[in-house]
Chains A and B, each alone.
Chain A
Amino acid sequence: MRMSPIVRNSSRLVSPFLVAYGAYMIVNGHITPGGGFQGGVILAVGVILLITSHGYKAVQETFSVKLVKLIESQALILIIAISITGLFFGSYFYNFLKGGEPGTLFSGGTVVLFNILIGLEVGAAFTLLFYMLLRWTEID
């Protein structure tokens, strides 16, 4: 089923703002409400909105399943790598980049990296879930 031009154009206008909002939420997760999980879901919604309006085929040319799988698995590997790197500084999950004025953007150390990677992981996971559920129903 082909969506009307109004739906397609307005979703194309809205989704960049959703991605920007999700990225803001992830990067500022340690000073404002929000964080990796919530921001990642908003990132995924930006792609899912395009899938629902433009169809699986058109979105897949830009965000291929291979790319989504790569982001998801590498984000999880990097999270585990960060947690293991803490072992060399004291203990598992040790915050080895601690510093900065509390309340500013450049503070918190590994918490920021952790939030960014969780955001990528969650966003890619939900996008892959939608790809997998929708790829048999494409009747465009």
Chain B
Amino acid sequence: MAILLVIILASILLPLDYSRERSDSYDYYVTNWEDVGISNVVAAILADWRAYDTLGETVVLFTAVYGVYIILGGEKNEDVSDR
């Protein structure tokens, strides 16, 4: 069964085209990285060009954690030692 699955997945995934798509944004990031003044292009994209995206990511994490906090009791029994 496992071998059959591997063969099926390989026949689907191996013929795919894995060459990199050269798009305009790639060329823009590579040629204009000096705009930000950071040698790490990943950090430049995440924290400067796409900072809006990172802000949204942070807000999502904040909301998720506070959702868990409120669902699991909120301020009730916050300090176990007070119980």
Contact = CB atoms under 8 A, between A and B. Distances in A.
Interface string B30-54: 0000101111101110111001101
A111 B34 contact: no
Contacts of B43: 29-30, 35, 108, 111, 115
B77 A108 contact: no
Interface in B26-83: 34, 36-40, 42-44, 46-48, 51-52, 54-55, 57-59, 61-62, 65, 68-69, 72-73, 77-81
A4 interface: no
A92 B81 CA distance: 45
A47 B69 CA distance: 18
A65 B39 contact: no
A67 B37 CA distance: 35
Contacts of A136: 72-73
A125 B47 contact: no
A80 B55 contact: yes
Interface string A63-79: 01110000011001001
Given A102-B39, A135-B77, A114 B69 contact: no
Interface string B3-36: 0000000000000000000000000000000101
Given A95-B48, A102-B34, A138 B40 contact: no
Given A31-B38, A35-B43, A99-B37, A114 B51 contact: yes
Interface of B: 34, 36-40, 42-44, 46-48, 51-52, 54-55, 57-59, 61-62, 65, 68-69, 72-73, 77-81
Interface of A: 29-33, 35-37, 56-57, 60-61, 64-66, 72-73, 76, 79-80, 83, 92-93, 95, 98-100, 102-103, 107-111, 114-115, 118, 121-122, 125-126, 128-129, 132-133, 135-136, 138
Given A33-B40, A60-B81, 8 more contacts: A35-B47, A92-B52, A95-B37, A107-B37, A125-B62, A132-B69, A132-B72, A135-B72
